[in-house]
């Protein structure tokens, strides 16, 4: 395989590449290869991304907050039959 050396990458781009690679649990090199393949439309198979942006919120509600939320959501479980005619 051939190596390609990239020059003059700005710090913001490097930071974003590192952040994205870390969030996908892959190396920066693998991320760049994936991005190039995707950009050229030659990717092998799309990798399923797992997003972790909301992980820190999981399990943070109190029992009362969860109960209140579930009661509020019952309105959305109703089906308006007239709307579907």
**pLDDT tens per residue across all 85 residues of the chain:** 899 999 999 999 999 999 999 999 999 999 999 999 989 988 766 667 788 888 888 888 899 999 999 999 998 888 888 888 8
For residues 54 and 44, is the Cβ–Cβ distance under 8 A? no
**pLDDT for position 30:** 94
**pLDDT for position 47:** 66
∠ CA 20-22-28, nearest 5°, is 70
Whole-model pTM over 0.75 = no
**pLDDT for position 46:** 61
DSSP state of 46: P
Cβ contacts of 43 within 8 Å, gap of 6 or more: 34, 37
User: Distance between CA atoms of 7 and 29, rounded to whole angstroms?
Assistant: 14
């Amino acid at each position: 395989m051939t190596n390609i050396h990239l020059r003059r990458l700005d710090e913001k781009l490097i930071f974003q590449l590192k952040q994205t690679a870390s969030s996908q649990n892959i190396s920066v090199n693998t991320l760049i290869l994936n991005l190039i393949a995707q950009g050229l439309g030659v990717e092998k198979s799309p990798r399923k991304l797992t997003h972790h942006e909301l992980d820190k919120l999981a399990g943070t509600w109190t029992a009362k907050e969860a109960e209140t939320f579930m009661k509020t959501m019952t309105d959305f479980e109703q089906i308006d039959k007239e709307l579907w005619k």
